[in-house]
Structure 1
């Protein structure tokens, strides 16, 4: 007897998993981070710091505040000393936490006065073991901060117009701006007032303080910001009918799944920038993916929607009007780093100086304030390339000022190596890092200045301690991503190599060499070798990025 055939019951098509998008009704937290934010807004943690933690000490800090909400006020726990990179991904957060904090001072547009600089210097010396790092987000980052000292630090910063609010966390972070805004002879529009408007209206506003992930912004007339790497960027552009305004770029971000921002094809007038900025942040807040943090950046939403849908929703649901179309304006050859002596629009000069990998001390900053006062300047600028600028130097005193800065380790006529090397925080303080970055970068610069002094064009070298690309490894000529390698049968610090990344006309994420890793101890040898091959093989006027794109893979190893 045969068994009768059973007709299976037709299955309903499976519904795709919700991504935690608020606009679609998915309000219940889908991971621990979202639960922490729902339980209490990160901005509220300041009161607990001032009223509880600063008095009761580190052990009194609620774990959800310690590894979550404190970031909304610029505080991260440092990495406990002595933990090697091989344990970074193996240990629990509480095993990596030191009892000290990194503190980011938010400097929107990179603008500092002498008075502000002196306060930052004093805080670094008094509370941060005299260490002060200039980041590639135009912040200054202090280390070794105790929770007991944070209220006094906040008070003294705010007395001079600085703060740490939303310097970290799932919120709108510091807004990058041109370090020569308002003084450059090449500038048509000064975005300083726009940056001030956005920070005054929206930073600290709880309507925008709970985003799916961090949100990075940049606004400048000049191509001196890494506009393709931000969630939103406004880059100067002239409309044939409406005149000077801004070209809107959205959805950039690097890390483990890098994507460059895309143009929305719109012209934004200066008066519209703040509202358009808020509209894009609103889309991210309402439609951004909150299920997996690895897919929570705005770039993933833009990739899934496409530019046309993103623009339509921005116009129809968040602005209520159509934006003017803008054909793609000419792209810059490269980003401007402002290193050197340059004439300002008023006839004075600004001096752009290179320091190695952003590493400074509070004592250095105090001395820089002295130099600024000596030459009648009250304006110092940080840059997205980890540089420092001194503005308003009289023409007849430029060489004297350059000499004073050089004695401080700030070079206005640096070697190409010193000029173009950047590094993230690294294993010294960062809990995500695998390798040392600051020391490696300093050693690399010193070695290459001796070994390849004939280099006649800048080759950017970006050193990162982990895959997160805080030092923008994928858009460097030579990007070095920290990882462990095997040397003589033992684990050691090393780097995966990216070659030929860039911005503007050379925009791209670089060429990742298959199975190519370099031990940290061999780093200078490798960079020297690949540089000499470039110098030997380049065509006239050919950049390193163009050469690296066409070179045989064996010549890049």
Structure 2
């Protein structure tokens, strides 16, 4: 415990009124009386528990981000985050999202690396109608943001992959149905991130979540989960640790609930920048954490268990793959998660024309269409290519991610979505002669983030770019990025996952991203020893080679 008083302001407004209760005020008061009627603690605090953030006021430059108050940075429109636990959507739900986007969000839609969909330009007056439409088809925004249990990441091929160790769908469903929206765990010290996978590629970035359950086969107890706790990135990155415990499928939801309550009861609250579970785990260590979980919260000891084997694939599921039932799933790439109402509609129509009714989002900002007959695959791909969705992307189109950026985010310093798209196009031209798939069986990853908070996981990318203002050759401050090199998670390329290397003073301007990436990738291709990966080379290379 680090003390309860004096409370920081977030802890104070949570103590003053349960955050989940703000929905009633939104429906009865704010939606009727408009933006000016909203209480500031509701607007900048409790709204998050229902997936609502004010978006950035247009025209506010990145250099002003840290200088202005939330009121000065905020527009009178909202980002609305729809939580999709396990990334699962039906084509009916996909069409509904497209309709909501057209009617209430100016046709916008972004796919996040947390398997959510984000809409923009939402008015407070329209929020009750949006909720009604979403909930009519089984979608929700409950605790999509805020200091509670956020979306549960799940393997996007849960239940269909032929090589799956265990299907995590029942665990995810039980967690959501039992605990999401429960007031008893809706006031946590900070956000709580979860992931569950049974796929051998470990496709849910489990090392950077507060809790992860990773499919493994126990030599005596059969398929179940390996328990990881305490991961997180942002400005103080820390990878999760194994507790050495094996979790039976029937115990998984209760174990998840126990870890959440440890965070609620013992997590640090006085200083908000230390209010993530990773700091508690760092102080306690995995042995004490496991002992408290078993003795105080579960009431039984968990069996010891083996670690999962190292993954053998990239885990993004791009391309055409055989399902266990003989059908196919098709993994589709887009640039940095940016879609639209029209793209969502086209996806639903193409999927249905191919005989599918199920779509999944991935933690890599990709899309999967499930249950496609083999003779329908070619037609599906042909229908989706014109709207920017492809199953055969170029290496950097496949592996580039970007956060929301300054276009909408109040924390951002630089633009990211357009910069990512421009970088992909530039690199497709610059590196057309370099056989990257041969050199790097796992795609080289390029992640762009608009600020230091690492929503796009910059420390875990081969090339991670953190947005900031930099000085160009003319001595002017311009948008740019600090460079991180050689990160990686759940990768067959390293003995263990690791964070990227920061080279002091290594920065690039936003319009120089393509040129820099080409230079450092060609240097790796020329200097690598044997089949050395980019990450391995980046950690051993002289700083001069990385510039």
Q: Which residue of 1 aligns with 2:255?
A: 276
Q: Which residue of 1 aligns with 2:519?
A: 529
Equivalent residues of 1:371, 1:401 under 8 A apart: yes
Instruction: Decide which of 482, 485, 504 is 1:496's aligned counterpart.
Output: 482
Q: Which residue of 2 aligns with 1:112?
A: 89
Q: Which residue of 2 aligns with 1:515?
A: 505
Q: Which residue of 2 aligns with 1:385?
A: 364
Residues in 2 aligned to 1:71 and 1:29: alpha-carbon distance in whole angstroms: 23
Equivalent residues of 1:334, 1:503 under 8 A apart: no
Equivalent residues of 1:131, 1:360 under 8 A apart: yes
Is 1:160 matched with 2:137?
A: yes
Equivalent residues of 2:359, 2:369 under 8 A apart: yes
Residues in 2 aligned to 1:551 and 1:334: alpha-carbon distance in whole angstroms: 26
Equivalent residues of 1:494, 1:520 under 8 A apart: yes
Residues in 1 aligned to 2:322 and 2:134: alpha-carbon distance in whole angstroms: 32
Instruction: Decide which of 426, 444, 449 is 1:459's aligned counterpart.
Output: 444
Q: Which residue of 2 aligns with 1:94?
A: 71
Give the CA RMSD over aligned residues: 1.0
Q: Which moved more, 1:74-83 or 1:318-327?
A: 318-327
Q: Which residue of 2 aligns with 1:242?
A: 221
Is 1:474 matched with 2:459?
A: yes
**How far does residue 147 in structure 1 lie from its aligned partner after superposition?**
0.2
Secondary structure in 2 aligned to 1:513? Answer: strand
Residues in 1 aligned to 2:345 and 2:529: alpha-carbon distance in whole angstroms: 46
Q: Which moved more, 1:278-287 or 1:184-193?
A: 184-193
Residues in 1 aligned to 2:49 and 2:155: alpha-carbon distance in whole angstroms: 25
Secondary structure in 1 aligned to 2:405? Answer: coil
**How far does residue 504 in structure 1 lie from its aligned partner after superposition?**
2.2
Moved over 3 A (4+): none
**How far does residue 331 in structure 1 lie from its aligned partner after superposition?**
2.3
Structure 1 gap ranges (5+) = 1-17, 21-25
Equivalent residues of 2:165, 2:216 under 8 A apart: no
Equivalent residues of 1:181, 1:187 under 8 A apart: yes
Residues 98-132 of structure 1: per-residue CA shift (max 9 Å, x gap): 00000000100000001100000001111111110
Residues in 1 aligned to 2:89 and 2:70: alpha-carbon distance in whole angstroms: 35
Structure 2 gap ranges (5+) = none
Secondary structure in 2 aligned to 1:190? Answer: coil
Instruction: Decide which of 15, 24, 27 is 1:47's aligned counterpart.
Output: 24
Q: Which moved more, 1:387-396 or 1:322-331?
A: 322-331
Q: Which residue of 2 aligns with 1:174?
A: 151
Equivalent residues of 1:29, 1:38 under 8 A apart: no
Residues 328-356 of structure 1: per-residue CA shift (max 9 Å, x gap): 33222564000000000011100000000
Instruction: Decide which of 402, 421, 426 is 1:447's aligned counterpart.
Output: 426
Secondary structure in 1 aligned to 2:76? Answer: strand
Secondary structure in 2 aligned to 1:234? Answer: strand
**How far does residue 520 in structure 1 lie from its aligned partner after superposition?**
1.0
TM-score, length of structure 1 as denominator length: 0.95
What is the correspondence of 1:107-506 to structure 2 with a 5 Å cutoff?
107-222=84-199, 223-333=202-312, 335-453=314-432, 454=434, 455-456=436-437, 457=440, 458-487=443-472, 488-505=474-491, 506=494
**How far does residue 327 in structure 1 lie from its aligned partner after superposition?**
3.0
Q: Which residue of 2 aligns with 1:31?
A: 8
- Structure 1 or 2, whichever has the larger Rg, is 1
What is the correspondence of 1:70-89 to structure 2 with a 5 Å cutoff?
70-89=47-66
**How far does residue 406 in structure 1 lie from its aligned partner after superposition?**
1.2
**How far does residue 283 in structure 1 lie from its aligned partner after superposition?**
0.3
